[in-house]
Amino acid sequence: MTQSWQFWAVLSAAFAALTAIFAKIGIEGINSDFATLIRTIVIIAALCLFLTLSGQWQKTGDIPAHSWIFLVLSGLATGGSWLAYFRALQMGDAARVAPVDKLSIVLVAIFGVVFLGEKLSLINWLGVLLIASGAVLLAIRV
C-alpha cells in the first residue's frame, strides 16, 4: 500500500485537513504571518530529523541548477500560499477557507495542461468542474 501514489495522496489530504483545523485554533490571538514562521520552523526541524533518521541527506553540489531554480520558485510559491492561507484562516471559517484554497486543484489541472502538456479526458475535466463548483458552494455563507 505504501508503494502507491494514492496512499500518499490520501495521507497528504488527511494531514492538510488537520493543518487547517490546528492552524485555525493556533492563530487565535497572534499575527498570522508570525504563526506561519513558527509553522515553518517546526517543518524545517521535523524534516531535518526525518532526513537524519532515514539517512536521506544529499550533497547540495550534486543537485542540478535546473532543479535548484524550480525548487526555489516552488519554495517561494509555498511561502506565499502559506502566508495567504493563514491570513484567510484568521479572517474566515476553516470550513470555508480550506475548500477555496483547494481551488489549487483546479489551477494545477489547468497549468498542467497548459505548461506541462498533460492530457485530461472529458471525465477528468468534469471532475475539475465539480471540484470548482463544490469549492464555490462550500464558500457561500447562507
Q: What is the pLDDT of residues 7-55, one digit of tens each?
A: 999 999 999 999 999 999 999 999 999 999 999 999 999 999 999 999 9
Domain of 19, in residue numbers? 1-94
Note whether 47 and 14 are same-domain residues. Answer: yes
Note whether 113 and 49 are same-domain residues. Answer: no
pLDDT confidence of residue 141:
85
- In DSSP notation, 84-125 reads HHHHHHHHS-HHHHHHHHTTHHHHHHHHHHHHH-----HHHH
Note whether 76 and 47 are same-domain residues. Answer: yes
Reported as a single tens digit per residue, the pLDDT across 77-116 is 999 999 999 999 999 999 999 999 999 999 999 999 999 9
- Report how many domains make up the chain: 2
pLDDT confidence of residue 57:
97
Note whether 30 and 70 are same-domain residues. Answer: yes
Note whether 8 and 48 are same-domain residues. Answer: yes
Note whether 113 and 85 are same-domain residues. Answer: no
Sheet strands (E) in 1-142: none
* 79: Cα within 13 Å, side-chain hemisphere: 12
Taking residues 52-74, what's their average pLDDT?
97
